[in-house]
Structure 1
Amino acid sequence: MNNLILTTKGKLKIKQYIEICKKKKKRILELGLDTAEKTKIRSLTDIYIELNVDPYVIDAEGVTYSFYITDHICEKLSLTLNIDYVKGINIDYLKSISIGVREKTKMVNTNIV
């Protein structure tokens, strides 16, 4: 899990992205350029989960992901590190540190007696 935390700007950017996707999908379907039998526009929550779980392009500046808006057409979403999202603390890492500290504390306390 990547543990990316969206900022207020990031949430707004994704909401705007979703609206753009809805408009593009509607226009594509009106023109008969594609179908949308298997595809739905993702919600903010859907995108947040996918950004944290699924593989995507990530580099020092941010993340880029393409989401399908119709059965064969994607729309790219790019989020910038420290503007649209921040990297959160890895909970599993914290747990492992906590367990290690507890074990060391037990050893120190038993050596004192």
Structure 2
Amino acid sequence: MVIAQTTVTDEAKAYEIAQGAVEARLAAAADVEARMTLFHWSKDALRHERGYRVSFTTTTERAANLEAWVHGRHPYDVPQWIVLPAAGTSDAYLAWAVQETTPR
């Protein structure tokens, strides 16, 4: 199991990506985290803007498909994409995630 994360500046887009990934069974769950401030470089200038992190719970096997799906709908040219191993996941939760990300 892994947790994959991206950020967007538009709240509605964050909800759309989160819900769509779960509906597509690419993620067992997706969390839109509270608004935060993002700092980054763009065109040689330091920028800051409000944004939202979307965290997806998915399986290692579905992570690449989820990445392609998210990148195809993401508003950024180069979206943030970070995949973190979910060490210590319970067997029951892992079984649930596998069930929920299995195409029907």
- Which structure has more relative contact order (CA 8 Å, sep 6+)? It is 2
Shorter-chain TM-score range? 0.3 to 0.5
Q: Which has the higher strand share?
A: 2
Q: Judging by fraction of residues, say which structure has more helix.
A: 1
TM-score under structure 1 normalisation?
0.31
Structure 2 length-normalised TM: 0.33
Larger Rg: 1
